[in-house]
C-alpha cells in the first residue's frame, strides 16, 4: 500500500493587503490579502520550512529520496534539491531531483515519488513544492501571486492517505510562461486560456479519472482542484458536478496563488480536516493535468500536530504598505546598497563548513558532553582534542540570551538584530533574528531556528540559519 505518510506546509509570516496594491497604483483591488515572502526567503528556504514541518516525528534516516518542485528556482543550472537535503540534514545516500518549468511540477514530482516507492527503489520519498513568483507591477497577477510551500512524504508503511488511483494527460498550450530572460510571468488573452487551457484540461482530467475508476462526484468527501483565481474556482464547481460543500477552500482571500505549490498546499489544507475513510479527488493543472484518488486511513490522526497550512495562516504580520513589499522583492535598489562594496563568497569555504552552515551541526565532546557551535576541535572545558560527534541543532528551540540592534549594517529589513540564542541542550548560537518587530525584541523571548538567504555573492545565493520568535 503506497500513499502519503506525512504532510506539512509553510506560509510566510507577512501578508500584504491587496487594497494597498490598488492604492499604490490608483486602481481597483481584489479583496483580501496575499502571503509575501520576507526579504531573506525564496523557494529553497520555504521548501526547507515546509519539509521541517512534514518530517516532524519522522526518522530522517528512513528517507530515501527528495524532490524539489518550483518554477522559481534560484538556479538555472544547479540542483536545489541538494541544498534542501543538506539543510534538512538528510543522509548522503539518497537520490534527489528538481522538477521545474510547469505549474504542475509539484504533482509531477508526486507521481514520480509514487512510482519510485511502488517499484521498490525507495521506501520513503520526500516531495517539496515551493514558489515565489512575480507578477508585472499594476497587473492582476501582482495581486494574485503569493508565496508558500508544501511537503509530502510518500511511503509504503504507516500510510495516512492511500493513493487509490491516478490519471494524467499532457497538453501543449501557451497560457503562462517565462523565458530565460524574463523576471515577470507572461500570459495570453484570458478567455482563450480559460476556455481551451484551464477549462478543457480540468474537465478532461476529472472525467477521465472518474470514468477510469467507475466513480461519481458523490463518492468523494472532498474535491481539491486547481484554479487561476477565486472566480474561476467558483465557476468550476457546478461544471465538475460537485456541491459547494464538497469543494476545498482555495484560500485566495487569505493566501493567494502560490504557483507550483498551490495545488499541494490546498491538498495539505484538506488533509488537515480529513477523517478516516474520506475519499479525496485531487487535480492539478499546467501543460496538461494530473488527477489522483486518495483515501484517508486511521493513521491520519498521527499527523494532527503539524502546523501545516492553516496553522501558518493564523500566524501573520501585515506589511505596513506596498513600498515595503517592493523592497522585500528587490524590485527597487536603494542608493545605500549601490555604494556598498560587493560581498565576496568562496565555494571552498562553503564546502568545508557545509555541515554547520547548511545542516547547523554543533560538536559534542565525547569526554564531558559539552556542545559547541560552531564546532570546535578542542573542548574548552576538558581540553579533549578531536574527540567529538556532530549534533543537529536546527530542530531545537530556545530563548534569546542577548541581542543588539545594528542600524548601520546593510539589510533588507533594518535594523539588523544580532542575537545569542540559548538552545535546548545548553548551547548558544550567534546569528541574526528574522520575522521580528524590532520594538518587541527582549531577552528571554522564545526562539526557533529557520533556514534563510543571507546575501548573494559570487553570482549565487548564500544560505545560513537565523533565529525567529516562535510562531
Domains and CATH numbers, the chain: 3-328 (3.40.47.10), 342-469 (no CATH)
DSSP code per residue over 70-118? -S--S-SSS-HHHHHHHHTT--SS-EEEEE-SSTTHHHHHHHHHHHHHH
Distance, in Å, from the CA atom of 54 to the CA atom of 47, rounded to the nearest integer, reads 10
Enter the pTM of the model: 0.96
Establish how many alpha carbons lie within 13 A of residue 327's alpha carbon, considering only the half-sphere containing its beta carbon: 14
Q: Residue 131: CB partners within 8 Å, gap ≥ 6? A: 43, 70, 71, 72, 147, 148, 149, 258, 259, 260, 261, 262
Distance, in Å, from the CA atom of 15 to the CA atom of 371, rounded to the nearest integer, reads 38
145, 103 contact by CB (below 8 A): no
pLDDT for res 319: 97
Answer positive or negative: Cα dihedral of 420, 423, 426, 429: negative
Q: Would you write out the chain's pLDDT as a tens digit for each of its 471 residues? A: 899 999 999 999 999 999 999 999 999 999 999 999 999 999 999 999 999 999 999 999 999 999 999 999 999 999 999 999 999 999 999 999 999 999 999 999 999 999 999 999 999 999 999 999 999 999 999 999 999 999 999 999 999 999 999 999 999 999 999 998 899 999 999 889 999 999 999 999 999 999 999 999 999 999 999 999 999 999 999 899 999 999 999 999 999 999 999 999 999 999 999 999 999 999 999 999 999 999 999 999 998 999 999 999 999 999 999 999 999 988 876 655 556 666 788 889 889 999 999 999 999 999 999 999 999 999 999 999 999 999 999 999 999 999 999 998 888 899 999 999 999 999 999 999 999 999 999 999 999 999 999 988 888 999 999 999 999
Name residue, grid cell 540542483: 79
Amino acid at each position: 500500500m503506497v500513499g502519503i505518510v506525512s504532510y506539512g506546509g509553510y506560509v510566510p509570516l507577512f501578508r500584504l493587503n491587496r487594497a494597498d496594491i490598488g492604492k499604490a497604483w490608483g486602481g481597483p483591488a481584489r479583496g483580501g490579502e496575499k502571503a509575501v515572502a520576507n526579504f531573506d526567503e525564496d523557494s529553497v528556504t520555504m521548501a526547507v520550512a515546509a519539509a521541517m514541518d512534514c518530517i516532524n516525528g519522522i526518522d530522517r534516516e528512513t528517507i530515501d529520496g527528495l524532490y524539489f518542485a518550483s518554477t522559481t528556482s534560484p538556479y538555472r543550472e544547479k540542483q536545489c534539491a541538494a541544498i534542501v537535503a543538506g539543510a534538512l540534514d538528510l543522509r548522503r545516500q539518497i537520490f534527489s531531483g528538481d522538477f521545474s518549468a510547469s505549474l504542475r511540477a509539484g504533482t509531477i514530482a508526486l507521481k514520480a515519488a509514487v512510482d519510485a516507492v511502488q517499484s521498490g527503489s525507495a521506501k520513503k520519498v520526500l516531495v517539496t513544492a515551493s514558489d515565489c513568483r512575480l507578477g508585472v507591477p499594476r497587473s492582476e497577477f501582482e495581486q494574485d501571486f503569493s508565496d508558500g510551500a508544501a511537503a509530502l512524504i510518500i511511503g509504503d508503511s504507516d500510510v495516512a492517505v492511500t493513493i487509490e488511483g491516478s490519471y494524467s494527460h499532457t497538453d501543449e498550450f501557451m497560457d503562462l510562461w517565462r523565458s530565460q530572460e524574463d523576471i515577470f510571468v507572461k500570459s495570453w488573452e484570458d478567455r482563450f486560456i480559460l476556455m481551451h487551457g484551464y477549462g478543457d484540461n480540468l474537465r478532461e482530467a476529472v472525467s477521465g479519472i472518474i470514468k477510469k475508476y467507475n466513480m461519481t462526484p458523490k463518492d468523494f468527501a472532498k474535491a481539491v482542484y486547481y484554479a487561476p483565481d477565486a472566480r474561476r474556482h467558483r465557476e468550476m464547481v457546478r461544471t465538475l458536478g460537485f456541491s459547494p460543500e464538497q469543494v476545498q477552500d482555495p484560500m485566495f482571500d487569505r493566501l493567494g496563488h502560490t504557483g507550483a505549490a498551490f495545488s499541494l498546499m490546498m491538498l495539505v489544507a484538506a488533509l488537515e480536516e480529513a477523517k478516516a475513510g474520506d475519499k479525496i479527488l485531487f487535480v492539478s493543472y499546467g501543460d496538461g493535468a494530473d488527477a489522483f484518488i486518495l483515501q484517508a486511513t486511521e493513521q491520519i490522526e498521527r499527523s494532527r500536530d503539524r502546523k501545516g497550512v492553516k496553522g501558518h495562516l493564523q500566524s501573520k504580520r501585515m506589511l505596513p504598505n506596498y513600498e515595503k513589499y517592493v523592497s522585500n522583492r528587490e524590485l527597487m535598489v536603494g542608493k545605500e546598497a549601490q555604494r556598498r562594496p560587493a560581498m565576496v563568497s568562496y565555494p571552498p569555504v562553503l564546502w568545508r563548513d557545509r555541515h554547520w552552515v547548511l545542516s547547523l551541526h554543533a560538536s559534542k565532546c565525547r569526554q564531558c558532553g559539552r556542545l559547541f557551535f560552531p564546532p570546535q576541535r578542542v573542548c574548552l572545558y576538558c581540553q579533549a582534542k578531536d574527540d567529538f560527534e556532530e549534533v543537529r541543532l536546527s530542530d531545537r528551540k530556545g530563548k534569546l540570551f542577548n541581542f543588539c540592534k545594528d542600524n548601520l549594517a546593510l539589510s533588507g529589513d533594518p535594523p539588523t538584530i544580532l542575537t545569542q540564542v540559548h538552545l535546548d541542550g545548553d548551547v548558544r548560537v550567534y546569528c541574526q533574528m528574522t520575522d521580528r518587530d524590532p520594538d518587541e525584541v527582549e531577552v528571554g523571548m522564545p526562539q526557533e531556528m529557520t533556514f534563510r538567504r543571507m546575501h548573494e555573492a559570487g553570482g549565487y545565493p548564500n544560505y545560513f540559519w537565523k533565529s525567529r520568535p516562535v510562531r
